[in-house]
Amino acid sequence: MKRRIHELIEGSPSERIAVIDDDGRSYSYADLDRISDGIAQKLRGHGVRGGDRVILLAENGMTYAAAILAISKVDAWVVPVNARVTEHDIKNALTHSGARCIFYTVDDSSAALAHSEIFGGVDLGQEDCGRIVVSPVVEVEPEPVEAGADQVAALFYTSGTTGTPKGVMLTHANLIFAAEATSGVRGMEEDDIVLGVLPGTHVYGFGGILFPVWDAGATIRLMPRFEPKRVLEVLSDNITLFPAVPQMYAALLKEMNETGVDRVETPLRIVSSGGAPLDPNWKDEIERRFGIHMHNGYGMTEASPTISVTRLDDLRTDTSVGLALPGLEIKLRNESDDGAGELCVRGPNIMKGYYKDPDATAKAMTADGFLKTGDVGRIDPDGAIHIVGRCKELIVHSGFNVYPAEVESALNAHSAVVQSAVVGRARDGNEDVIAFVTLAAPVTEPELRAWMRSHLVSYKVPLHIIPVESLPQAATGKILKGSLTSVFDDKLRQLDLEKNA
């Protein structure tokens, strides 16, 4: 039984390719083990101890991949942070985590290099993947080290879209279970080459993609940034699995429309979506253009991250997120008359808790050990799960429940709309339905409103449909809905004045 995440690579043929870097260099499983050993030795020499927290300030690349295993080998906690965050974000992570030091992937990320100049960087020498640069160590108290797999492996900070970010403690056992279960239901094999373009510092790219690849003894091809044109080119080059968030698929469709590409020939056997609700119109278009069925899944940071995925032998035409992973229990809490309720999950992938926040941990769990996901879902008789919205995003307009995903789906079906985001706004004891859209072609608000009236019941039609140049997004492409009304406050005020004039 594996006790540490670095043991995921044990048993894979040493000569097999584990990582293909963005510069085209290939690293075998033997290379990955050797390089991570070298980094671990350098970290110990620098003063990193078991139980220390180490911020991995990174973008995707071989150094990032090897550093994860190295930090595990030292028995420290990896704290993944996207190198493109602000100095303020890094200071917050340093303060809350009590990190011993910062590890910068300077050769893979100009942003990480810039931060190393601000926070200080010590060059510990060279490995085959590049320079090993770490900030000076600071005096902090290490956490206790457990011999078993319940030792914390990673500390992830949630995006904070609905409040202050919390540090999610994921154990080696959590991550190993999720990796093994995910690679199993996805039928991953040694010959698979998976495109890793999602940020590896996000739990989806970390626990939902990288670790299942290594559990299967497969290969991951890492790209530090999502560029639609380049992704389309790379997908034609021996890639067999492509996991992404829905917004990435929307960007690929936009690129194809702009360049007049109707079909893409690839060796892909699986394309899958996760991280946000999948729009059925995007699903249909991806399937048509790629000539392959699109799978779906669901997870969250607190679940390491995978909770459910559609099965390979179930080619669903809806946007269900599939069945729960084997070994997990799912139930609905506070179920309403329409059969929807808050999804709750219990199993070996559920977090140890929120770091330094026992009250928040207690609020997130039920008395019988289920994690309250905060997502509203329905469950079919066969166990298939459907996500209909976030508990906090549910809009109650004139006494009726409005689920943003349904309104967004109707908007996205319009040929001029690229992306949409729908939120509620409290006003005069009611909640308005407000929509923001990015466009691929000119269209007026009355035209969009007429479209919506023909697709939805009247109470679901947005009060305002606001065209914008871009929507605020996290590094994964996930739309930051919590900031929409404040970012576009001036436009909302103007529309309110015009409507009341």
Is residue 337 one of the residues assigned to a domain?
A: no
Alpha-helix runs per DSSP H in 356-482: 358-364, 404-412, 445-455
**pLDDT number for residue 362:** 96
Estimate to the nearest angstrom the gap between the alpha carbon of 490 and the chain centroid: 31
Domain count, the chain: 2
Last residue of a domain, one of 175, 207, 235: 175
Cα–Cα distances (Å) from 20 to 194, 238, 440, in that order, read: 10, 12, 34
Is residue 365 one of the residues assigned to a domain?
A: no
Q: What residue numbers bound the domain in which 408 lies?
A: 395-500
**pLDDT number for residue 404:** 87
Is residue 186 one of the residues assigned to a domain?
A: no
**pLDDT number for residue 497:** 84
- 3-state secondary structure (DSSP) of residue 370: coil
C-alpha dihedral (245, 251, 255, 260), degrees to nearest 10:
80
Quote the pTM value.
Answer: 0.85
Tokens at 435, concatenated: 């929509």
Last residue of a domain, one of 175, 205, 233: 175
pLDDT, tens only, 3-20: 999 999 998 999 999 999
Is residue 345 one of the residues assigned to a domain?
A: no
**pLDDT number for residue 393:** 80
CATH number of the domain where residue 441 is located: 3.30.300.30
66-89 burial by CB neighbour count: b if 16+ within 10 A, else e? bbbbbbbbbbbbbbbbbbbbeeee
Is residue 39 one of the residues assigned to a domain?
A: yes
Is residue 21 one of the residues assigned to a domain?
A: no
What's phi and psi for 466, nearest 5 deg?
Answer: -110, 115
Is residue 286 one of the residues assigned to a domain?
A: no
DSSP state of 52: -
Last residue of a domain, one of 147, 175, 203: 175
**pLDDT number for residue 73:** 98
Report the C-alpha gap between 143 and 322 in whole angstroms. Answer: 38
CATH number of the domain where residue 110 is located: 3.40.50.980
Report how many helices (DSSP H) and strands (DSSP E) the chain contains, helices first.
15, 26
User: Side chain identity at 198, as an amino acid letter?
Assistant: L
Is residue 264 one of the residues assigned to a domain?
A: no
**pLDDT number for residue 161:** 39
Residue ranges in the chain modelled with pLDDT below 70: 159-164, 399, 429, 501
